[in-house]
Structure 1
């Protein structure tokens, strides 16, 4: 562990819904790769018993914590619940990762190494050195085109704004007014990246290898993609209107810095 990480408390927030076959496996991998990192499982009342698996893990390991939510409320809602718990618990670094193995815990060190120079670090598929394993061409095309659309419309300068492998400094989340976030689905990732940059904070992207799940079913579907597109379009139109108003009043201002390495 490098000097700057000694003493920092780190927790990875891991939302789950029907991940019984994956949860113990991915938590075990995480603790093998990063023994000092805690895990917070946020389970949305999975009917397959994922919550029971999480409770068993927590009973045997003080590094594992569990929040049980009464119903499936969406990825963003689960993360917001988990973030607030982690902030209240005093963690210095609060991360995001999927429970299905698509985010490889063995690559978490790449994100940690970048955090001393950033407020948010994103594990990116679409920067130099990043890659995707076992995705069909149309899925890759959809993700690439979607991220290009986000970059153009929201003027973010982030190559993978929809990525869900992330590390936030606690001070970053404290500045983002999480109580005002209304994004409950997958568009939550784009929302928080945009809010971070709008706050004048530093976002860095580091390359990761994203691996498509081999067990269980993906939660992404066409309806979710359409809803994300609709919300991002609305944000983009409002942002463009704001930029025009600001340019008329006082000239175009600068935003947060972004560094993709």
Structure 2
């Protein structure tokens, strides 16, 4: 299997994932021993941040970024991206802490960078699977993907998925300072921006497994935000009213070196 094009940083946002974080990181390093990890914790009441600090003290591959409170998945990933761009990592991975994203799939996702700039772990391409989800959750996910794909006119089958890999220059060139999306709408936003900017996007099948411990963070507010934003983006694109800036040819974020 091909080597990734440089050092890899896996960004793992956490909020109340104390039971899941340790096993997830152990599996990650078993699958990819050289990967660095950045845990971005939103002041988890259950002590996830304390556990992350303990894991980092014993393993130099793990770092922890503490945020003052819960402010959403999108904001956590943006903090992680800024941290990545302040260092030497050439590949940045999004991965959930709850065990739903199998670390064993990561080498295959990284290998797909040979002919792409963004790799999306996909539940809904041939070979992809969803395990142990209740029927209404899978129906909501498939419906959200179908709506997003139709509204934006894109061929991506799993545009809401959160297991994905970016080359560094993608994050450097996208206008990340204009991203305000949260929840799984953040994932739609990032894929849409990358496509608009002309980056090569590839979907690779993964097996998504419902968490065994803890509670999902999905809410009606997250779904409503996604529907509203995707509708606005789709209308703006179709009627030529202009989209938000999609790329930054000048290079990295201005504040990337100050995280």
Instruction: Report deviation, 1:223.
Output: 2.2
SS at match of 1:162: coil
CA distance in 1, matches of 2:50, 2:135: 37
Answer whether contact 1:124 1:163 (CA < 8 A) is retained. yes
Instruction: Report deviation, 1:186.
Output: 2.4
Residue correspondences, number? 242
Match status 1:135 vs 2:137: no
| TM-score normalized by the length of structure 2 | 0.91
Aligned to 2:163: 165
Unaligned runs of 5+ in 2: 243-259
Aligned to 2:121: 123
| TM-score normalized by the length of structure 1 | 0.90
Rg larger for: 1
CA distance in 1, matches of 2:172, 2:195: 14
CA distance in 1, matches of 2:155, 2:12: 26
Answer whether contact 2:161 2:184 (CA < 8 A) is retained. no
Aligned to 2:172: 174
CA distance in 2, matches of 1:136, 1:81: 32
Aligned to 2:86: 88
More divergent stretch after superposition (137-146 vs 8-17)? 137-146
CA distance in 1, matches of 2:227, 2:175: 23
Pairing of 1:184-203 with structure 2 (within 5 A): 184-203=182-201
Aligned to 2:145: 147
Answer whether contact 1:77 1:185 (CA < 8 A) is retained. no
Instruction: Report deviation, 1:199.
Output: 0.2
Match status 1:16 vs 2:14: yes
Aligned to 2:27: 29
CA distance in 2, matches of 1:169, 1:41: 19
Match status 1:98 vs 2:116: no
Deviation readout 1:151-195 (Å, 9 max, x if unpaired): 110112110000000000000111111111111332100000000
Aligned to 1:53: 51
Unaligned runs of 5+ in 1: 246-261
Answer whether contact 2:15 2:44 (CA < 8 A) is retained. yes
SS at match of 1:99: coil
Aligned to 2:231: 233
CA distance in 1, matches of 2:135, 2:70: 30
CA distance in 1, matches of 2:27, 2:131: 19
Runs of 4+ off more than 3 Å: none
Deviation readout 1:133-165 (Å, 9 max, x if unpaired): 001222211111111111110112110000000
Answer whether contact 1:126 1:159 (CA < 8 A) is retained. yes
CA distance in 2, matches of 1:186, 1:160: 11
